[in-house]
Amino acid sequence: MTTRPLRRLWASGETLWVGSLTHLDIYEKNQGIQRWVKGDVEFNRMSNVVLAVAPEKERVWVGRGAQREVEKFGPENHPPRVFTLTRGLDTPVTPLEVELADLVCDGERLIGCQVDGRPGLASILWSDLSASAWQTMPLPEPVVGVPCELFPPEEGVEGDPSGVLLSTHLHGVVAVDPGSGLIAVIRPGSSKVDFVLKLAPARLKEQWFAVPTRKGVLLGITRNGTSSALLHYTEDGRLTDELNMQEDTSVRGLALADEDTALVVMKRHLALAPVSPELTISEMVPVDMEDTFRFATATAAPGRVWIAPDYLDYGWIAQVRCEAGKPPELWKFKAPLAQGEPLWDYGCSRPRLDWEDASATDTMKRKFSVPLASSSTWRQRFRNVGTEATGLRLLVGGRPLGADAVTVRVRLNGEELVPASHAGDDMRFEHRMSIPPGATGELEVTVHGQQMCSGLVAVSLAPWTPSKYLPAPESLGGMHSEIYSFLELSVVDPSSVS
């Protein structure tokens, strides 16, 4: 559980659902289907993806939570909505009539939460799977938890309200409101909120991860991405155990591997942490997590936990296999995905570019070799799938450019562009031109090798909107929908290649 998740997981048996703001992926064994959201998707730091699944009923709820900070961030083009798939994976969706900040499925019922204007936890609702009649679960008086010694309430900078998130676990549903310091737990099948724990509100740059246990709730707090505390609270607010971690063992994700053992996803380790009779770290193994800031998690079955980096383009997912007395094992997984029908279409009110070659959007690096003292050219066509754009901004950057090991020339539709700036590893190009809806263009990046070198080079392209909302008429306007491609550049000596 993290604040503002961009990715959510749900697992049952051998099926995994991966939801994001832009698409829904469903994996079954070695097969997968991917359904995209068309049009302009709202991205801001208050967006959170919603994902709930009732696998036996073949129902999925996916969308964007209503966390309500309009006064701070301004109105959105499309209000946050949650949609339902009711007749299979590749069927049309219908919107829910109720506005929810988050939603989970707990057996034969749905549990949702709403926020007030701060935002903060205002109410918890439940309904049967029809989502047609919602009833309120009263919130009991919170019990005040003992403060964490690692993070005294008076230390750190006060954070902004962060909204409310729900997640489902073996011992119940948990609602986490870090901005108010509230954690509410609903036990499996319970008709009420069983207890609410009150702690000091989260400070700036804190991540909270919470899972219910048999006797209370296990809470992981990470501040500034380095210092972490793993805390176990009972239902009456007593702090029974506290573990402090630093740097490579800082907490990035949390789940229950079985009824009494937690899987702790750390910066560079995976660890098993038995909760009963006392909280300890029993098994820990180093793993390469690519310095991911936070992870989405889902328990598929006892001893099987899925994890994925909490990014828009997550690149990989993995199953962690947890067995008593053995270190956890990480099995990375990437199944082929067939393209399904679009989930829904927001429509386009801004320009948006897509690479015409779908492989150019692959987050995997593409090898690109350049002979020493010679040149090679990378070409890619793009299309404007949105409204009219008034110009383009192009960035080419990477370590080889900063080391002067290569020179770069860029052409757009055959016309060479002059860099607007070249600072360090990055070259910036700007070009004013009309790009109507549906128009295409060709980008050429020519690299001349001056020294033997290797390194990653990123190419990004973004359209500019008309500047009617900006005071300066000469401005290029706002920038949207940046697209990327990554080149694994190598400058090689031709004489040494057999």
Yes or no: say if 489 and 454 are a contact pair by the CB < 8 Å rule.
Answer: yes
Count of positions (residues) in the chain: 498
- Whether residue 370 is found in the same domain as residue 478: yes
- Which residue in 161, 163, 131 sits closest to 64, CA to CA? 163
Q: What local confidence, expressed as pLDDT, does residue 265 receive?
A: 95
| Residue 487: both structure tokens together | 């080149």
Q: Are strands 31-36 and 338-339 parallel, antiparallel or unpaired?
A: parallel
Q: What local confidence, expressed as pLDDT, does residue 1 receive?
A: 41
Interatomic CA distance for residues 180 and 203, integer angstroms: 10
Does a structural domain hold residue 139?
yes
The three-class DSSP label of residue 144 is strand
Yes or no: say if 187 and 207 are a contact pair by the CB < 8 Å rule.
Answer: no
Does a structural domain hold residue 183?
yes
The identity of residue 354, as a single letter, is D
Residue 325 in this model has a pLDDT that exceeds 70: yes
Give the Cβ contact number of residue 158 at 10 Å. Answer: 9
Q: What local confidence, expressed as pLDDT, does residue 160 receive?
A: 64
Yes or no: say if 22 and 312 are a contact pair by the CB < 8 Å rule.
Answer: yes
- Whether residue 310 is found in the same domain as residue 379: no
Question: Which of 310, 339, 368 corresponds to the end of one domain?
Answer: 339
Does a structural domain hold residue 346?
no
Q: What local confidence, expressed as pLDDT, does residue 358 receive?
A: 63
Per residue in 181-198, pLDDT (tens digit) is 999 999 999 999 999 999
pTM: 0.77
Average of per-residue pLDDT across 30-51: 78
- Which residue in 449, 453, 404, 458 sits closest to 428, CA to CA? 458
| Residue 279: both structure tokens together | 């909280």
- Whether residue 243 is found in the same domain as residue 316: yes
Residue 75 in this model has a pLDDT that exceeds 60: no
**Strand-pair partners of 262:** 256, 273
Per residue in 130-155, pLDDT (tens digit) is 998 999 998 999 999 998 877 776 66
For the residues of 305-347, what is the DSSP string, one character each?
A: EEEEESSSS---EEEEE--TTS--EEEEE----EE---S-B--
CATH number, domain with residue 170: 2.130.10.10
What is the total count of domains within the chain? 2
Does a structural domain hold residue 2?
no
Does a structural domain hold residue 347?
no
Residue 471 in this model has a pLDDT that exceeds 50: no
Average model confidence (pLDDT) across the chain:
85
- Whether residue 250 is found in the same domain as residue 360: no
Query: Cis omega (within 30 of 0) on the bond before 201?
Result: no
- Whether residue 357 is found in the same domain as residue 314: no
Radius of gyration of the chain (CA): 25
Q: What local confidence, expressed as pLDDT, does residue 187 receive?
A: 96
Residue 44 in this model has a pLDDT that exceeds 60: no
Block residue for tokens 């036990």: 187
Does a structural domain hold residue 216?
yes
Does a structural domain hold residue 344?
no
Helices (H) and strands (E) in the chain, counts: 2, 41
- Whether residue 335 is found in the same domain as residue 364: no
Interatomic CA distance for residues 293 and 304, integer angstroms: 22
CATH number, domain with residue 469: 2.60.40.2310
Q: What local confidence, expressed as pLDDT, does residue 479 receive?
A: 46
Does a structural domain hold residue 348?
no
- Whether residue 180 is found in the same domain as residue 323: yes
Q: Beta-strand (E) ranges in 6-73?
A: 7-12, 15-20, 23-28, 31-36, 49-54, 59-64
Interatomic CA distance for residues 271 and 147, integer angstroms: 25
Task: Please report which helix (H) or strand (E) contains residue 127, including its range.
Answer: strand 121-128
Residue 156 in this model has a pLDDT that exceeds 90: no
Question: Which of 307, 339, 371 corresponds to the end of one domain?
Answer: 339
- Whether residue 375 is found in the same domain as residue 422: yes
Q: What local confidence, expressed as pLDDT, does residue 161 receive?
A: 63
Per residue in 234-284, pLDDT (tens digit) is 999 999 999 998 888 899 999 999 999 999 999 999 999 999 889 999 889
Q: What local confidence, expressed as pLDDT, does residue 469 receive?
A: 34
- Whether residue 86 is found in the same domain as residue 152: yes
Interatomic CA distance for residues 305 and 319, integer angstroms: 6
The highest-confidence range among 47-61, 228-242, 355-369, by mean pLDDT, is: 228-242
- Whether residue 84 is found in the same domain as residue 106: yes
Question: Which of 317, 339, 361 corresponds to the end of one domain?
Answer: 339
- Whether residue 159 is found in the same domain as residue 57: yes
Per the structure, the complete domain to which residue 394 belongs is given by: 353-496
Query: Cis omega (within 30 of 0) on the bond before 55?
Result: no
- Whether residue 117 is found in the same domain as residue 79: yes
Yes or no: say if 388 and 435 are a contact pair by the CB < 8 Å rule.
Answer: yes
Interatomic CA distance for residues 89 and 334, integer angstroms: 19
Q: What share of the chain is helix, strand, coil (3-state, %, to 5)?
A: 5, 50, 45
